[in-house]
Chain A
Amino acid sequence: MNDILQGLSAAFWLVVSLDSELIDISLRSLRVTLTALVISCIIAVPLGAYLAVQRFRYRRLVIAGINALMGLPPVVVGLVVYLLLSRSGPFGVFGLLFTPTAMIIAQVIIITPLIASIAHQAIRELWAEYHDLLISLNTTKWQRIKTLIWDGRRNLLTAALAGFGRAIGEVGAIMIVGGNIDNVTRVLTTAIALETGKGDFALALGLGFVLIGLSMIVSITIHSLSRTEREGRW
């Protein structure tokens, strides 16, 4: 109990004093995760839509594969990305290991299947609703996908939110590929792990509360964007 109170006050002071290290770490967390989120959405949303609209031989298999990838243990993703990016690995020449880019790559691999799966589900329902009309209007495949993504944007935002939640709180993979280097790849989750290891529970908890606050702010912002969206002029 005492630890929690101390954590709360530590968090309070960290925030009100605008602790420069905290701000650095928080911004890095946001930058890495939001970059990963944007890249994942660019891949996952059209993929989900395509899987809903297009019938092909191994479609069920691909969907099952994506659903299986959702359960991929992040630590294993981290390990594999590590091996691929390490000096002796196939992508070693790019020197990406222990950089924010490596962390972004790991997060993209972790959240893309999740977003694709939720997006596919949402778009499949909308496609069932629109199917006859879009066929009747003789739409091209690309027009169908565009229409479904646009009209399903609220549900797709939920998918993105789920991806954001998973990525911002992830620690195992980014610890491995980022290395938790001070001022370079240290983010909120890895800093919490570090402080906990050092026994500085107050600071760890303080960082934890900042993390929770940050993800809540982002969630609420994204959510209110979709909610308050006016019916609008056409």
Chain B
Amino acid sequence: MTQMLPLTLTDVVVRRRGKRIIGPVTHRLEQGPPTIVIGPNGSGKTTLLRVIHGIERISTGQVNWTHDAPDQQAFVFQNPIVLRRTVAENLAYPLRLAGVDKAEIISRVTTWLARIGLDALANTAATRLSGGERQKLAIARALIRTPQVLFLDEPCANLDGHTTREIEALLSETATAGTRLIMATHNMGQARRLAGDVIFMLNGKIHESGAANYIMNTPQTSELKSFFQGDIVT
């Protein structure tokens, strides 16, 4: 398996209807522990993740993977998208797309159902799941092809503490197993628990970034300092 990372973004700008949504962004992502993207609402976190994943058209600039492999990436959206199928079929779907053989599909789906605690709901329509169950399903479905890079957009927004803890545990294991996580979050505690490094977005730009233990303790810019204190940053 060829390494996709490092990844470089060079002067990336996204414009929509004449308005600059993000950029210019220049950044380099190495193989390593999770990158957590933080920043106020509307600062461009979602757009940045989508750009890196390759599902958002960029207006100028470049995104360069060392080795670009779309099927080695997966994205978990803020509002989990579930297919109008059973829970098990949702998990099987990416494997079917990839032409994985039937026995292998059954074995992987069974493993993942158990791992996210939804085995009893395997044959239930996924649209009937609760918010937390849907999010776990979406994460498992993203991980079922063992991607090299996993993007998550505020995966625990609106979830209760118990489910958040389950998801964080799953994400830690995933990162330890070698999947590169790039995750936007609003939850500073979560950022602290998972982050290897942090990107602080403000007004569509990377305002500050660096190793988590450094940046979280000694933010260099006044805006990040205020953001950590819970002030309104603009």
Contacts and interface: CB of A to CB of B under 8 A. Distances in A.
A135 B55 contact: yes
A143 interface: yes
B70 A133 contact: no
Given A130-B81, A138-B70, A138-B71, A231 B86 contact: yes
Interface string B64-77: 00000011001101
B97 interface: yes
Interface stretch (B88-96, B159-167, B185-193, B201-209): B88-96
B122 interface: yes
Contacts of A234: 85-86, 88-89, 92, 109, 122-123
A115 B109 CA distance: 36
Contact of A151 (B71, B83, B92, B123): B83
Q: Which of B71, B89, B92 has the most C-beta atoms of chain A within 10 angstroms of its own C-beta?
A: B89
Contacts of B75: 132, 136
Contacts of B74: 136-137
Interface string A123-135: 0001001101101
B81 A233 contact: no
A136 B53 contact: yes
Q: Would you call the interface of chain A mostly helix, strand, loop, or mixed?
A: helix
Given A135-B55, A136-B75, A234-B88, A130 B123 contact: no
A126 B89 CA distance: 17
A226 interface: no
Interface in A9-48: none
**Contact count band on A:** 10 to 19
Nearest to B82: A133
B84 A151 contact: yes
B145 to A, nearest CB: 9
Contacts of A139: 97
A199 interface: no
B115 to A, nearest CB: 17
B124 interface: yes
Interface in A178-234: 231-234
B125 interface: yes
A137 B124 contact: no
Interface string A147-180: 1000110000000000000000000000000000
A129 B81 contact: yes
A66 B163 CA distance: 48
A231 B123 contact: yes
Contacts of A233: 123
B86 A132 contact: no
Q: Which of A129, A132, A133, A139 has the most C-beta atoms of chain B within 10 angstroms of its own C-beta?
A: A133
Given A143-B97, A231-B86, A132 B122 contact: no
B85 A151 contact: yes
Nearest to B72: A138
Contacts of B55: 132, 135-136
Interface in B75-132: 75, 77, 81, 83-86, 88-89, 92-94, 97, 109, 122-125
Contacts of A135: 55
30 contacts: A126-B84, A129-B81, A130-B81, A132-B55, A132-B75, A132-B77, A133-B77, A133-B81, A135-B55, A136-B55, A136-B75, A137-B93, A137-B94, A139-B97, A143-B97, A147-B93, A151-B83, A151-B84, A152-B84, A231-B86, A231-B123, A231-B124, A232-B86, A234-B85, A234-B88, A234-B89, A234-B92, A234-B109, A234-B122, A234-B123
